[in-house]
Amino acid sequence: MGEYVQLGAVKTWYAEHGEGEPLVLMHGGLLDARFFAGNLPALAEHFHVYTPERRGHGHTPDVEGPISYQLMADDTIAFLEAVVGEPADVVGHSDGAMVAMLVAMQRPELVKRLVLISGGFNKSGEADPEMGWDIPMMTQFLGPAYGEVSPDGEDHFPVMAAKIGEMFAKEPDLRASELSAITARTLIMYADDDIVTLAHSVDMYDSIPNSELAVVPGTSHFLTQEKPGLVNQIVVDFLIHEPVPTMAPIRRAPAS
């Protein structure tokens, strides 16, 4: 069972699972914490997992006005400060990864380790830039699940889809050079057939100083659901083990 916390204008819903060091799990756009059903048990074996749902997503009601990644990052910072109360590992998928990225850039003292799954940093990384934002199709596909938990009701889903679509038309809009602000040890994870290009993932890897890169074969943007066991194994290994000393380092070679 989850509970609510009032964070500014947002009545944020979250649940807690497991025991240990804190880990905040950030869902994708137009989805909610249920999306991580195949991943949560493996994480909760090792961590005290928080699953906040962002404004207008899942059990958290919408807030009047547009939505932006920065607003959602501000909400997440408030959640980390008010509810978690200490630095946490942060794992985000898709839009959740972009929000987590901004938090790590702007408030590095709140993020211990960072896992970014299938989240790009600007529009140049889109694998299919001509793909339309079909709200009727999204409503048919995602609306019923939204209506099961949203206090705004299923009829509000097209409103949320329009807000996210307006945001996504312009954002994210970061430069690769800005990613150097991320000081947390970071795992960058993509599918080999993602909505973000593999070249973009390499740009992220090259730009985030203390980062590691994983590409999950035979998967799409929904890799966390398609191969949860493999994704869980990689993520948990990253989070519970320190980096190994590699035998032939090039990128990580000590400065002479």
Q: Which CATH class is domain 3-239?
A: alpha beta
In this prediction, residue 91 carries a pLDDT of 98
Angstrom distances, CA of residue 196 to CA of 84, 94, 120, 173, 215: 31, 10, 6, 14, 12
Mean pLDDT, the chain, rounded, equals 97
Per-residue pLDDT reduced to its tens digit, 172-195: 999 999 999 999 999 999 999 999
In the chain the beta strands, taken as DSSP E runs, fall at 3-7, 10-14, 16-17, 21-26, 47-50, 88-93, 111-117, 185-191, 211-216
At 68-119, the pLDDT tens digits run: 999 999 999 999 999 999 999 999 999 999 999 999 999 999 999 999 999 9
- Closest by Cα among 118, 120, 126, 114 to 35: 118
pTM assigned to the model: 0.97
Question: What gap in Å lies between CA 33 and CA 53, rounded to an integer?
Answer: 6
Are 72 and 106 in contact by the 8 Å Cβ rule? The answer is: no
Q: Is residue 143 within 8 Å of residue 157, measured between CB atoms? A: yes
Where in the chain are the domains? 3-239
Query: What count of residues does the chain have?
Result: 256
pLDDT tens by residue, 219-247: 999 999 999 999 999 999 999 999 999 99
Q: Which tens digit of pLDDT belongs to each residue from 18-75?
A: 999 999 999 999 999 999 999 999 999 999 999 999 999 999 999 999 999 999 999 9
Both tokens assigned to 235: 């993520």
β-bridge mates for residue 22, sequence order: 48
* Residue 169 near residue 180, CB atoms below 8 Å: no
Contacts of 29 (CB under 8 A, 6+ apart): 57, 94, 95, 96, 164, 168
The answer to whether 204 touches 116, Cβ cutoff 8 Å, is: yes
Give the span between the Cα atoms of 152 and 165, in whole angstroms.
19
